[in-house]
């Protein structure tokens, strides 16, 4: 005789009891999905995200603009290709760090998060050139998720400021020698996602990628030795693009007479410490941002018997390795930090090398 199925009514009652909880949980999950923070500055004749070509502007257009970036952005002040533009960078800076408020910038002696810094400076335009420190080790979509959160924070702090994202440039074939995900496919996927983020947040995108593309890669004319940083010729092309792809500044913005600026090289950061409003009017021409002073010329050496030397993002043996260079490579020493580390420039890229691996040839 078959046994009665006494558990079926009990299971049915249990499922009915759990159903409201499941529905509530689903509703709660939908409630916490963040919605995009959109810029409230809408230019009727310039719908985002693309920027049409216009007549070239003068340096004054960028007098109250800020470029936020990583080691790619460091080449702008290093090569002095855009002296009127304030460049705020950390070597190794990534969207994830900004999204988590894990990085600070100095202004008038205070350490501020990036949203705080930008709110205090109140620029007319913010250019963002980030993503390299992300696609070099992760799939594009993971980097874009953090980029999205970062934009929510930045636009929320400056809702009526023009934001312009800048595409990543292509990379050379040898870029994957040190970073396995740093491929042109991953870069292209990132740039496609960047376009989508610009549309989503009602902001703009500067499409510089194809300027530097030849035969689907970054050619030697533009590529630094590591295959993903850039030579001066590349920066000159990008700057020309920025000068000819602009948007009307908000009413009251100064398009001429760039403000007096002071700059300071704080090893990791390159920022003006004073704003124009904090300084008395001056009649003398505004000074331009100077390239870091070269303290010495040195050659890489390896007393341990190795044939290469690590080039790092921070002055620490635990820091990210930006690249490796062969023994004998000539470097420019920009600063002696302590008994252990030096800030150096190699092929236009700034980073850190242990003094143990430097042999000074000219003081």
* Model pLDDT, residue 95: 94
Q: Indicate the fold that domain 59-278 takes in CATH.
A: Rossmann fold (3.40.50)
* Model pLDDT, residue 266: 34
CA atoms within 13 A on the CB side of 139: 3
Task: Report whether pLDDT(33) > 70.
Answer: no
Residue position matching structure tokens 């080449």: 75
Q: Convert the pLDDT of each residue in 283-298 to its tens digit.
A: 333 344 445 678 888 8
Q: Do domains 59-278 and 296-362 have the same CATH topology?
A: no
CATH says 296-362 is which class?
Answer: mainly beta
Q: Convert the pLDDT of each residue in 216-266 to its tens digit.
A: 999 999 999 999 999 999 999 999 999 999 988 754 333 333 333 333 333
Task: Report whether pLDDT(344) > 50.
Answer: yes
Separation CA 203–CA 192 (nearest Å) = 15
Q: Convert the pLDDT of each residue in 3-15 to its tens digit.
A: 555 455 555 555 5
Exposed / middle / buried, residue 127 (Cβ in 10 Å: 0-12, 13-18, 19+)? buried
Separation CA 139–CA 149 (nearest Å) = 17
Q: Convert the pLDDT of each residue in 46-97 to its tens digit.
A: 888 889 999 999 999 999 999 999 999 999 999 999 999 999 998 889 999 9
Per-domain boundaries in the chain: 59-278, 296-362
Separation CA 158–CA 347 (nearest Å) = 36
Number of helices (H), then strands (E), in the chain: 8, 16
- φ/ψ of 25, rounded to 5, equals -65, -40
Q: Convert the pLDDT of each residue in 103-159 to its tens digit.
A: 888 888 899 999 999 999 999 999 999 999 999 999 999 999 999 999 999 999 998
Question: 353 has which bridge partners?
Answer: 342
* Model pLDDT, residue 42: 64
DSSP state of 109: T
Exposed / middle / buried, residue 183 (Cβ in 10 Å: 0-12, 13-18, 19+)? middle
Separation CA 182–CA 228 (nearest Å) = 8
Length of the chain: 363
């Amino acid at each position: 005789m078959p046994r009665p199925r006494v558990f079926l009514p009990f299971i049915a009652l249990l499922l009915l009891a759990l159903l409201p909880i499941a529905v509530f949980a689903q509703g709660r999950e939908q409630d916490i999905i963040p919605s995009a923070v959109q810029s409230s500055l809408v230019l009727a004749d310039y719908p985002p995200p693309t920027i049409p070509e216009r007549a070239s502007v003068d340096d004054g257009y960028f007098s109250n603009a800020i470029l936020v970036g990583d080691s790619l952005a460091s080449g702008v002040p290093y090569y002095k290709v855009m002296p009127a533009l304030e460049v705020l960078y950390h070597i190794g800076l990534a969207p994830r760090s900004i999204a988590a408020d894990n990085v600070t910038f100095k202004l008038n002696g205070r350490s501020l998060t990036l949203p705080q810094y930008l709110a205090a400076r109140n620029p007319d335009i913010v250019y963002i050139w980030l993503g390299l420190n992300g696609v070099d080790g992760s799939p594009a979509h993971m980097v874009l998720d953090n980029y999205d959160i970062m934009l929510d924070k930045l636009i929320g702090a400056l809702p009526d400021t023009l934001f312009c994202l800048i595409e990543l440039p292509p990379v050379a074939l040898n870029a994957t020698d040190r970073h396995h995900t740093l491929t042109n496919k991953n870069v292209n996927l990132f740039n496609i996602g960047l376009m989508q983020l610009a549309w989503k947040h009602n902001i703009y995108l500067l499409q510089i990628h194809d300027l530097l593309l030849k035969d689907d890669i970054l050619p030697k004319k533009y590529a630094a030795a590591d295959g993903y940083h850039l030579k001066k010729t590349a920066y000159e092309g990008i700057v020309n693009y920025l000068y000819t792809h602009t948007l009307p500044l908000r009413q009251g913005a100064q398009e001429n007479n760039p403000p007096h600026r002071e700059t300071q090289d704080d090893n990791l950061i390159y920022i003006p410490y004073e704003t124009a409003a904090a300084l008395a009017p001056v009649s003398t021409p505004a000074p331009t941002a100077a390239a870091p002073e070269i303290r010495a010329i040195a050659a890489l050496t390896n007393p341990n018997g190795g044939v290469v030397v690590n080039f790092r993002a921070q002055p620490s043996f635990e820091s990210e390795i930006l690249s490796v260079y062969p023994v004998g490579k000539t470097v420019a020493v920009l600063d002696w930090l302590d008994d252990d580390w030096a800030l150096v420039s190699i092929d236009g890229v700034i980073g850190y090398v242990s003094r143990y691996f430097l042999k000074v040839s000219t003081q």
